[in-house]
C-alpha cells in the first residue's frame, strides 16, 4: 500500500513538474504539432504531386494550382486564363512568372492545351484541347477581391488579411467584405457577399458567432429585422434542433424563416452538416 501510494504521488509530482516547466515537450505536444503541420500541408497543397502532372487523374477534388503570367499575360485580354498543377510549374514553366492560386477544387491541369498555345506539357503531352468542366475566376488573371488587385499589392500600404470564400474560392481583404470579421477568428468558413446574393438560401443557415467588437445582434421575427439594426448580424435560431424535428417531415428550409441580408457571412465550424438534404435540396 505504501509503495503504491508513493508511486502514485511520485507520478503526480512528475506530471505537475512537466506542466510547470515550459521547456519540457511531451509526446502529446509532438503529435499535436505533427498533425497541425500535416493539416497545413493539406490546406496549401491538397492532392498535389510535385513529380507527376495530375492531368491523368481527371478533375482532382482539390489541388494546388498556378497561373502562368508568362504564357498568358495579364495584358492580353484575347487569351483565356488557364491553370497548371504543381509538377508542371516545375517541369514546364520553370523561370516563368507564376501566380500561386493555392488550392482549387475539381480542376484538371491545363498545361499544354489550347490555352497554352506556345507551351507544350513535358509531362503529359497528350491532352484534350479543353477541360470543359474547369471553372476560372479572376484569380487566374492574378487579381483578387472586389478591388481586383494583385496580392501582395505593392500599392496597398494597409495591413489586412486575405480571407477565402468557400463558394467562389476568391480571396478578399477583410475590409472589403461588407461585414465585421470576428476578431478572434472564431469561425469555420466565410461566404462572400456576392455568393450570398446568388445563393440566398444560405442566409437561413447563418448561426450566431461570438463577436468581441460589440456588434449588435438582433432577433428575427417572421424573417424581418427591426429597422436600423445591422442585418449582417441577424441571429437565426440554431438549426440543429430544427433538423432533428424535420428529418421525417421533408425540407428543412420550409421550417426556417426566410431571411436575406447583405455582405459576407462567417459560419461556425461544422455548419455544413446542418444543411438540408431532402430530395428537393440535393
- The CA R_g of the chain, rounded to the nearest whole Å, is 25
What is the pLDDT, as a whole number, of residue 37?
53
Domain count, the chain: 2
Residue 150 belongs to some domain of the structure: no
CA–CA distance, 176 with 198 (Å, rounded to integer): 18
Residue 102 belongs to some domain of the structure: yes
Looking at the chain, how many residues does it have?
A: 282
Closest to 90 in 3D by CA, of 66, 110, 73, 72? 66
Residue 31 belongs to some domain of the structure: no
- pTM metric for this prediction: 0.69
What is the pLDDT, as a whole number, of residue 3?
34
Residue 171's Cβ-count burial label (10 Å; 0-12, 13-18, 19+) is buried
What is the pLDDT, as a whole number, of residue 217?
36
Least confident of 127-141, 210-224, 255-269: 210-224
Is 73 in the same domain as 166?
A: no
Residue 241 belongs to some domain of the structure: yes
List the domain range (segments joined by +) for residue 117. 54-141
Residue recorded with cell 426566410: 258
Is 179 in the same domain as 222?
A: yes
Name the grid cell of 116. Answer: 497554352
- pLDDT of 213 > 80? The answer is no
Residue 43 belongs to some domain of the structure: no
Q: How far is CA 207 from CA 202, 220, 227, 238, 272, in A?
A: 10, 12, 21, 6, 11
Amino acid at each position: 500500500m505504501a509503495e503504491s501510494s508513493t508511486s502514485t504521488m511520485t507520478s503526480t509530482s512528475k506530471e505537475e513538474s512537466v506542466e510547470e516547466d515550459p521547456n519540457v515537450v511531451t509526446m502529446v505536444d509532438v503529435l499535436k504539432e505533427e498533425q497541425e503541420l500535416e493539416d497545413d500541408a493539406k490546406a496549401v497543397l491538397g492532392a498535389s504531386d510535385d513529380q507527376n502532372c495530375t492531368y491523368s487523374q481527371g478533375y482532382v477534388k482539390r489541388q494546388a494550382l498556378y497561373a502562368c503570367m508568362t504564357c498568358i499575360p495579364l495584358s492580353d485580354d484575347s487569351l483565356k486564363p488557364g491553370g497548371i498543377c504543381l509538377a508542371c510549374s516545375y517541369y514546364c514553366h520553370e523561370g516563368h512568372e507564376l501566380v500561386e492560386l493555392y488550392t482549387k477544387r475539381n480542376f484538371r491541369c491545363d498545361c499544354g492545351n489550347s490555352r497554352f498555345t506556345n507551351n507544350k506539357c513535358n509531362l503529359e503531352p497528350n491532352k484534350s484541347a479543353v477541360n470543359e468542366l474547369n471553372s476560372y475566376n479572376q484569380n487566374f488573371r492574378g487579381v483578387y477581391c472586389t478591388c481586383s488587385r494583385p496580392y501582395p499589392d505593392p500599392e496597398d500600404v494597409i495591413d489586412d488579411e486575405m480571407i477565402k470564400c468557400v463558394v467562389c474560392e476568391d480571396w478578399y481583404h477583410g475590409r472589403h467584405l461588407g461585414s465585421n470579421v470576428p476578431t478572434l477568428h472564431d469561425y469555420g468558413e466565410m461566404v462572400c457577399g456576392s455568393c450570398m446574393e446568388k445563393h440566398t438560401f444560405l442566409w437561413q443557415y447563418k448561426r450566431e458567432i461570438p463577436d468581441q467588437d460589440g456588434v449588435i445582434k438582433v432577433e428575427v421575427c417572421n424573417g424581418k429585422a427591426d429597422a436600423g439594426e445591422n442585418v449582417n448580424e441577424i441571429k437565426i435560431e440554431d438549426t440543429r434542433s430544427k433538423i432533428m424535428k424535420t428529418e421525417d417531415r421533408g425540407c428543412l428550409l420550409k421550417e426556417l424563416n426566410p431571411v436575406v441580408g447583405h455582405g459576407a457571412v462567417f459560419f461556425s465550424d461544422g455548419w455544413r452538416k446542418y444543411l438540408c438534404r431532402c430530395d428537393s435540396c440535393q
